[in-house]
Structure 1
Amino acid sequence: MSYEWFISLRYLRAKRKQTFISVISFISIAGVTLGVAALILVLAVMTGFSDGVRQQILGNVPHVLMQRFGEGIDNPQELVDAAKKTPHVLSAVPFVSKEAMLLSQGNVSAVSVKGVGPEHKIFSQDVLTLDGQPVKKQFFSGSVDRPGIIIGLDTASSLGVSVGDSINVIPPLFSMTPFGMIPKMKPFEVVAVFEKQSSLVDSFYAYIPLFVAQKFFDSEGVVSGIELEVDRYDRAPQVAQALASQFDFPTVVRPWQSIYGSFLSALKLEKLGLFIILGIIVLVAAFNIATTLIMVVMEKNRDIAILRAMGANARSIMKIFMMEGFIIGTVGTGVGAVLGVLLAHYADAAIKFLEQSFGIQIFDQSVYGMEHFPSDIIVSDVVMVVIMAMSICLLATIYPAWRASRMDPTEALRYE
């Protein structure tokens, strides 16, 4: 161990004449600890919340959407074959979509009715069916007069219906009769209901068989678009670009980021803003470190002068006080990192404990559509916070250490 390290540690352990300096040292360490812990916790919560929102958005929303501008797609199989040949594409499913009103027992709900085939990912969702029967069997084996329909839990609650009940679907289409134009209407049987709201937009969708939708919406042989699923959600722009290069306008290929990405971008911006705001806590703690070192330099001016007289150069004196600030920053950052990771890891359990202990509701699951309090620890975020905190702490030591190295030993020892 070099004598600079030894003296730095000795200055931290020694009982000073001015107890106030020791208090400021403790406050400096506590400030860095709280700042680092708060940063790690907030970044973990924001990351978890962003991932939770993304999973909700992608509940039944396609990763990539292929449509034809201003018209339907009359050659869907050609686009489906091209999509399935594209790398990273798991499935390509055509659909028919039309805004409609659902009517039952005097209640009305506006939804987007989608005609889907058996490969659609709606059938991989957890749904409530009659007697627990397979949803596909009931969905595609419905009668011609009353086909099957799948609706969300919110829609079912608004209409006051459950599995097995009948609802009327009224699209913005009209039929010509001897009595004039009347709205088209068709009864459907509710064969399944979402057990839980799996997406922010799922409650606005209702699903019927594709062949029924094409006939009901007067679009036989034509589909509204093709939904693509990729192996990783972040590869959607790459797949969309590859398909867009194969098909010219009016065929439009859009990844999910271009449809719903603005909301996630807002969350990322909010995460950056919180990082900057909470980083000020670490900055304030760094000022405390600088204050501590300045007061130590004032208290140890005689010791510094003796060291200089014994042959220590200005660089060694500067290293002593920079190492002292480095130790304070390391202890505060290390304890804060451990505390922040523990708080982020046990955030959900801690909130549930507080809710049960005090009988209050801190996190409303029904509002956010999440079963657990979102908290996702990213190693890169923790490393970034640690590097940032250590950099600020080291920068705060430069001026006090430089002042100590510039001290004139003859002036310090003149009256001793």
Structure 2
Amino acid sequence: MSGPAPFSRYEFMIAWRYLRARRTEGGVSVMTWISLIGIALGVMALIATLAVRAGFRAEFVDTILGANAHTTVYMAPERVENEFTDDVYVVPGRIRDYDAMAATLADIPGVVRTAPVIRGQVMASANDASNVAEVYGVTLDDLKAMPRIVDPATSAGDVDDFESGIAIGSGIARELNLGIGDRVRLIAPEGARTAFGTTPRVNAYQVVYVFSAGRYDIDRTRIYMPMAEAQSYFNREGVADEIEVFVDDPERVDDWMLPLLRAAGEGAQVWSWRDASGSFLSALDMEDDVMFVTLSVLVLIASMNITSGLIMLVKNKGRDIGILRTMGLTEGAVLRVFFLCGAFTGVIGTIAGVVLGVLLALNVDGIMAGIDALTGGGAWQPEVRGIYRLPAELRAWDILRAVALSLTLSFIVTIFPARRAARMNPVEALRYE
């Protein structure tokens, strides 16, 4: 005649009864609560940290892709002779038939759009203040295609007036005290070339649009100028400095490198957003792994408390174990009873940790705002971190691996004291009772 199936109802009932606090077993109860709270805090910290790290990476990448090209095609540097002094110097390569090249690149499968661009360095000056800025010469349609630049929630002015002025970052506007309708003077070191050298070019432009790309370095240094005006201002008539390329899957931008080089022709070079930020993203990925391992050790330490609590429980329940064995419980049944005692602690602590971790991740913005208020605005520095806020992104995979780690450790550390209880000799347990 076969006995009851493993993990029967009575095994759960006995395990749950042993976990209930009783005055004579206060030490066991305290250890159980310490184990439960430790596991909950460890899982909470693990989930919240993974969510913040995922949110930081997502926000960082989004600010890159929302205001920059996924990859850029440009030409190799050229050697040019000065017509006045006969000196030979190297200048950046120019794309002469840029419209045709842009159309050719746009025909590559997976390429969403292309945009010829003029780029140049200037000194922006207004209201007795100045700032170094990088000018991008683009068309109105290409400017409108940048989601981080034309976001109505973070911009001021009318982007449709772009052809009659310039668009500047909110950082430049703040530092130069500029608003919509104000004029800013741009000074380019490369102006007209004469027999006496190159003279700087100075022009004043009206600010018609102020944007915030979500990145401190972009908002503080970037200016957009109409393509035709930029060609005239930087002596780029009939040419473009580069062609920005946008693909349908920026995370796999490396797959388009070779097709772009072939389509662009001889002398072309390619630079992707991963080339510019790949080392930083790799560092973030490595830091994610290190943080997971570090916090996993905290969960392991909390789980070890289960072992201590179960050893005390087995010692206090020696008489009960002897009685249960004489009543017919097998070693396997006793093992499962005490395994369930530890498993209950691990499961309840894990559930509590998941709830707390999710709540913490969902309210990280408010928490950071409170910390920022208490520290006088020094808790989060955009000029150091690059982005303006600390976001959190809850991912199912992160929650699942945190839960799997906690439960696995909790179950493993439970096995040793449960086996000790199962191997207890019932005669020895009842000898002095």
Matched, 1:167 2:199: no
Q: Which residue, out of 138, 141, 156, partners 1:128?
A: 156
Matched, 1:253 2:270: yes
Matched, 1:199 2:222: no
Structure 1 counterpart of 2:162? 139
User: CA shift at 1:20, angstroms?
Assistant: 0.8
Does the CA contact (< 8 Å) of 2:191 and 2:234 recur in 1? Answer: no
Partner SS, residue 328 of structure 1? helix
Distance 1:355 1:66 in 2: 42
Structure 2 counterpart of 1:38? 45
Which piece of structure 1 moves more, 154-163 or 37-46? 154-163
Does the CA contact (< 8 Å) of 1:174 and 1:181 recur in 2? Answer: no
Q: Which residue, out of 177, 187, 197, partners 1:181?
A: 197
Q: Unaligned stretches of 5+ in structure 1?
A: 143-147
**TM-score with structure 2 length normalisation?**
0.83
Does the CA contact (< 8 Å) of 1:174 and 1:184 recur in 2? Answer: yes
Structure 1 counterpart of 2:58? 51
Distance 2:263 2:209 in 1: 38
- Aligned partner letter, 1:396: V
Cα separation, partners in 2 of 1:151 and 1:360, compared to 1, 3 Å: closer
Cα separation, partners in 2 of 1:282 and 1:317, compared to 1, 3 Å: same
Matched, 1:27 2:34: yes
Does the CA contact (< 8 Å) of 2:382 and 2:389 recur in 1? Answer: no
Does the CA contact (< 8 Å) of 2:364 and 2:390 recur in 1? Answer: yes
What is the total number of aligned residue pairs between the two structures? 403
Distance 2:233 2:177 in 1: 24
User: CA shift at 1:26, angstroms?
Assistant: 0.8
Deviations 1:16-66 (A, max 9, x none): 633111111111111111111121122222222222222223342112222
Distance 1:288 1:227 in 2: 57
Q: Which residue, out of 52, 66, 77, partners 2:73?
A: 66
Matched, 1:290 2:297: no
User: CA shift at 1:369, angstroms?
Assistant: 7.0
Does the CA contact (< 8 Å) of 1:150 and 1:192 recur in 2? Answer: yes
Matched, 1:343 2:371: no
- Aligned partner letter, 1:187: N
Q: Which residue, out of 413, 428, 431, partners 1:396?
A: 413
User: CA shift at 1:242, angstroms?
Assistant: 4.2
Matched, 1:320 2:337: yes
Does the CA contact (< 8 Å) of 1:87 and 1:239 recur in 2? Answer: no
Structure 2 counterpart of 1:9? 16
Does the CA contact (< 8 Å) of 1:5 and 1:323 recur in 2? Answer: yes
Identity fraction in percent: 32
Q: Unaligned stretches of 5+ in structure 2?
A: 1-7, 78-92
Does the CA contact (< 8 Å) of 2:14 and 2:337 recur in 1? Answer: yes
Deviations 1:63-87 (A, max 9, x none): 2222223222223234322332233
Does the CA contact (< 8 Å) of 2:185 and 2:202 recur in 1? Answer: yes
Distance 1:359 1:172 in 2: 42
Deviations 1:125-147 (A, max 9, x none): 44433xxxx434x432x4xxxxx
Cα separation, partners in 2 of 1:250 and 1:392, compared to 1, 3 Å: farther
Distance 2:372 2:217 in 1: 29
Cα separation, partners in 2 of 1:185 and 1:247, compared to 1, 3 Å: closer
Deviations 1:86-120 (A, max 9, x none): 33433210001122222445533222222112222
Distance 1:248 1:228 in 2: 15
Does the CA contact (< 8 Å) of 1:56 and 1:200 recur in 2? Answer: no
Deviations 1:170-206 (A, max 9, x none): 333253447x224231313123242435333322222
Which piece of structure 1 moves more, 333-342 or 5-14? 5-14
Distance 2:120 2:244 in 1: 15
Matches within 5 A, 1:216-231: 216-231=233-248
- Aligned partner letter, 1:18: E
Structure 1 counterpart of 2:423? 406
**TM-score with structure 1 length normalisation?**
0.86
Structure 2 counterpart of 1:152? 169
Structure 2 counterpart of 1:111? 133
- Aligned partner letter, 1:135: V
Which piece of structure 1 moves more, 159-168 or 366-375? 366-375
Cα separation, partners in 2 of 1:286 and 1:124, compared to 1, 3 Å: same
- Aligned partner letter, 2:393: D
Does the CA contact (< 8 Å) of 2:67 and 2:213 recur in 1? Answer: no
Cα separation, partners in 2 of 1:337 and 1:249, compared to 1, 3 Å: farther
- Aligned partner letter, 1:56: T
Distance 2:215 2:237 in 1: 30
Cα RMSD over matched residues? 2.9
Distance 1:49 1:264 in 2: 11
Structure 2 counterpart of 1:145? none
Distance 2:11 2:238 in 1: 83
